[in-house]
Amino acid sequence: MGKSNMKTIDLRSDTVTLPTPAMREAIYRAELGDDVFGEDPTTNRLEKMAAERVGKEAALLVASGTMGNLVCLLTHCGRGEEVILGDQSHTFLYEAGGMSALGGIHPHTIANQPDGTMRLEDIEAAIRGDDVHFPRTRLICLENTHNRCNGSALTPQYTDAVAGLAKNRSLAVHLDGARIFNAAVALGVDVKELTRSVDSLSFCLSKGLAAPVGSVVCGSKKFIAQARRIRKVLGGGMRQSGIIAAAGIAALEQMVERIAEDHKNARRLTEGIARIEGLSVDPAKTQTNIVYFDSASERLTAQKLVMELGKKGIKLLPVGPRRLRAVTHYGITAEDIDLTLTVLRELMEGSVAAH
Ligand SMILES: *Cc1c(COP(=O)(O)O)cnc(C)c1O
């Protein structure tokens, strides 16, 4: 069989999505200007649309989710000031330490619970008193959906509770909402319910929404004005950024509701994995489009399983010696999930037989 007619089923991340035909068309037709002069009409339109969508006054297009979080942290905090965030958070683990490297910001991590929350009492206990020995606490960061915690969705009630606590202590709240629309769709709520009580958020256009590039930072007019300066400091002032924004508009208009399909496929994958001997998964934990599971096989470690799957055109991410991650997204069908399950079952049966 020729390898060329084998479809690749890439479940490593929802960042691998390619732009839709409508996005390519929108990019082709985008009206452009110089955005550093505020003159790119398409970028202006995306920013206005994004702000309205999440119920904030203003928004700012940035190059990536990492840049979005960094811009927000640098806008909220000065050097030697402290951020409270989860020990499993993307910002702490996977953003190259940007807050310390570029902002002199001190991360204060507390435990993420398996559902992606941090206990309110843990947050409370982490807030510094007014003492010359301590860094000043400025900010609390939440992540919704929570990538490392099974893509779980934080509820409006929880978000409001953290924001209430923050307000009482004169702190700000930033939401890493890389997949905030996955959370809204999974919970069946308007995204505004998940953003109403936070001071700033960033969300990705280039993940489940399938745009090729970009994230959007949202907040008050005053916050975004300062964030715009910080973005320029970071070299993120872009010129004819309407090329990117055009796809972002199509993403917001056309790609939010279909996320439900990704969640259905993730559930299908989870339930299938639960029935394969040698693999283990907690079905209750799959809420959105991210599935973590473990291999109990001596022979098929995560690395080996990924290699064997790769030979069949199926790509997964090893995230520990026994642990793997699969993410569903635009372009992945129920048939792709079934094929993945068939191959996984065959591999595991082979593995069991070899014992
Ligand atoms: C992917 C991701 C980011 C960063 O986005 P990039 O565009 O890859 O820089 C931030 N936070 C979370 C939770 C993510 O999953």
149-172 pLDDT per residue, tens: 999 999 999 999 999 999 999 999
40 lines ligand 1 (CB under 6 A): no
Ligand 1 centroid to Cα of residue 93, in Å, is: 11
Q: Residue 2 pLDDT > 90, yes or no?
A: no
Q: State the amino acid at position 196 in one-letter form.
A: R
Q: Identify which of 12, 64, 71, 90 to mutate to test ligand 1's pocket (most ligand atoms within 8 A of the CB).
A: 90
Residue 125 CA to residue 119 CA, distance in Å, equals 10
65 lines ligand 1 (CB under 6 A): yes
Q: Which atom of ligand 1 is nearest to the CA of 176?
A: 11
Peptide bond into 288 cis (omega under 30): no
Q: Which atom of ligand 1 is nearest to the CA of 66?
A: 9
Percent of the chain with pLDDT over 70: 97
Ligand 1 centroid to Cα of residue 327, in Å, is: 14
Element at 215 (helix H, strand E): strand 215-219
User: Mean pLDDT, to the nearest integer, of 295-313?
Assistant: 95
User: Mean pLDDT, to the nearest integer, of 182-199?
Assistant: 98
Would you tell me the crossing angle of helices 302-311 and 334-353 to the nearest 10 degrees? Answer: 120
Let me know: does 22 contact 250? Beta carbons within 8 Å: yes
Let me know: does 248 contact 205? Beta carbons within 8 Å: yes
Q: Identify which of 13, 16, 62, 66 to mutate to test ligand 1's pocket (most ligand atoms within 8 A of the CB).
A: 66
Q: How confident is the model at residue 5 (pLDDT cuts 50, 70, 90)?
A: low
Q: What is the DSSP string of 232-288?
A: HHTT---SSTHHHHHHHHHHHHHSSTTHHHHHHHHHHHHHHHHTSTTEE--GGG--S
Q: What is the DSSP string of 10-75?
A: E-S-GGGPPPPHHHHHHHHH-----GGGT--HHHHHHHHHHHHHHT-SEEEEES-HHHHHHHHHHH
Residue 36 CA to residue 49 CA, distance in Å, equals 19
Contacts of 28 (CB under 8 A, 6+ apart): none
Q: Is residue 102 classed as helix, strand or coil in its secondary structure?
A: helix
143 lines ligand 1 (CB under 6 A): yes
Q: How confident is the model at residue 7 (pLDDT cuts 50, 70, 90)?
A: confident
Start-to-end Cα distance in the chain: 29
Give the pLDDT confidence score for residue 350 in this predicted structure.
Answer: 86
Residue 59 CA to residue 49 CA, distance in Å, equals 9
Residue 281 CA to residue 116 CA, distance in Å, equals 17
Model confidence pLDDT, tens digit, residues 223-257: 999 999 999 999 999 999 999 999 999 999 999 99
Give the pLDDT confidence score for residue 352 in this predicted structure.
Answer: 56
Ligand 1 centroid to Cα of residue 274, in Å, is: 28
| CA-nearest residue, atom 8 of ligand 1 | 65
Q: Identify which of 147, 216, 325 to mutate to test ligand 1's pocket (most ligand atoms within 8 A of the CB).
A: 147
Give the pLDDT confidence score for residue 317 in this predicted structure.
Answer: 97
Tokens of 321: 């010696």
Give the pLDDT confidence score for residue 6 in this predicted structure.
Answer: 78
Query: Domains (ranges, CATH) in the chain?
Result: 9-15+258-354 (3.90.1150.10), 21-254 (3.40.640.10)
Tokens of 298: 């001596």
Model confidence pLDDT, tens digit, residues 75-134: 999 999 999 999 999 999 999 999 999 999 999 999 999 999 999 999 999 999 999 999
Ligand 1 centroid to Cα of residue 187, in Å, is: 21
| CA-nearest residue, atom 3 of ligand 1 | 65
Give the pLDDT confidence score for residue 355 in this predicted structure.
Answer: 45
- Angle (CA) 259-265-268 rounded to 5° is 150
* Chain mean pLDDT for the chain: 96
Residue 126 CA to residue 200 CA, distance in Å, equals 21
89 lines ligand 1 (CB under 6 A): no
| CA-nearest residue, atom 14 of ligand 1 | 178
148 lines ligand 1 (CB under 6 A): no
Q: Residue 354 pLDDT > 90, yes or no?
A: no
Q: State the amino acid at position 3 in one-letter form.
A: K
Q: How confident is the model at residue 353 (pLDDT cuts 50, 70, 90)?
A: low
